Amino acid sequence: MVKARSSWCCNRAQGPKGDQALSVLETLLPCHVNAEPSSEVPAVLLPSELAGEKQEGKGIHFKGIRERRVETESELEVPVHWTFMWAGFWVGLSKINFEASAMASCPVLQRERVFQSGARVYRIPALLYLPQQKTLLAFAEERTSKKDEHAKLIVLRRGSYDTSTHQVQWHSQEAVSQAQLEGHRSMNPSPLYDEATGTIFLFFIAIPGQVSEHHQLQTRVNATRLCQVTSPDHGRSWSPPTDLTDSVIASADKDWATFAVGPGHCLQLSNPTRSLVVPAYAYRSHCCLKAPSPSAFCLVSHDHGRTWVRGSFVDQDTLECQVAEVRDGQQRVVYLNARSPHQARVQAQSANNGLDFKETQWVQKLVEPPHGCQGSIVSFPSPNVGSEPPDWWLLYTHPTDPRQRSNLGVYLNRWSPGPATWSEPTLLAPGSCAYSDLQSMGTGPDGSPLFGCLYESDDYMEIVFVMFTLQQAFPAEFLLQ
Burial class (CB in 10 A: 0-12, 13-18, 19+), 26: exposed
Region 104-478: CATH code: 2.120.10.10
CA 458 distance to own-chain centroid:
17
Per-residue pLDDT at 417: 67
Pairing of strands 52-54, 321-328: unpaired
Catalytic option among 148, 391, 446, 459:
148
Per-residue pLDDT at 100: 62
Per-residue pLDDT at 253: 66
Give the model's confidence band at 387: pLDDT under 50 very low, under 70 low, under 90 confident, else very high: low
Q: Write the pLDDT tens digit of every residue in 229-251.
A: 999 999 999 999 999 999 998 76
Q: Are 380 and 392 in contact (CB under 8 A)?
A: yes
283 noted as active-site residue: no
3-state secondary structure of 240: coil
Position 454 pLDDT exceeds 90: yes
Give the model's confidence band at 359: pLDDT under 50 very low, under 70 low, under 90 confident, else very high: confident
Per-residue pLDDT at 480: 54
The string over 78-103, giving b where at least 16 C-beta atoms fall within 10 Å of a residue's C-beta and e elsewhere, is bbbebeeebeebeeebbeeebbbeeb
Give the model's confidence band at 45: pLDDT under 50 very low, under 70 low, under 90 confident, else very high: very low
Mean pLDDT within 196-225 = 95
Catalytic option among 49, 401, 456, 477:
456
The conformation of residue 448, written as its DSSP 8-state character, comes to S
Position 143 pLDDT exceeds 70: yes
456 noted as active-site residue: yes
The conformation of residue 475, written as its DSSP 8-state character, comes to G
Cβ atoms within 10 Å, residue 216: 20
Mean pLDDT within 348-354 = 94
Give the model's confidence band at 8: pLDDT under 50 very low, under 70 low, under 90 confident, else very high: very low
Amino acid identity of residue 202, one-letter, is L
The string over 223-252, giving b where at least 16 C-beta atoms fall within 10 Å of a residue's C-beta and e elsewhere, is bbbbbbbbbeebbeebeebeebbeebbeee
Mean pLDDT within 106-129 = 96
Closest by Cα among 268, 392, 374 to 322:
374
Mean pLDDT within 87-116 = 68
Would you report the helix, strand and coil content of the chain in percent, each value rounded to 5? 15, 45, 45
Residues of the chain above pLDDT 70, percent: 76
148 noted as active-site residue: yes
Distance CA 200, CA 135 (A): 13
Per-residue pLDDT at 101: 60
Cβ atoms within 10 Å, residue 149: 16
How far apart, in Å, are the Cα atoms of 173 and each of 123, 150, 466? 14, 20, 18
Q: Are 22 and 12 in contact (CB under 8 A)?
A: yes
Sequence spans of domains, the chain:
3-96, 104-478
Least confident of 11-20, 120-129, 244-253, 432-441: 11-20
Per-residue pLDDT at 60: 36
Q: Write the pLDDT tens digit of every residue in 54-100.
A: 444 333 333 333 333 333 333 333 343 433 333 343 333 344 355 56
Catalytic option among 281, 435, 455, 460:
435
| Average predicted confidence (pLDDT) for the chain | 82
Q: Write the pLDDT tens digit of every residue in 404-451.
A: 999 999 999 988 767 778 999 999 999 999 999 999 999 999 999 999
For 429, how many CA atoms within 13 A lie in the half-sphere containing its CB?
28
Per-residue pLDDT at 385: 62
Least confident of 199-213, 261-275, 380-394, 441-455: 380-394
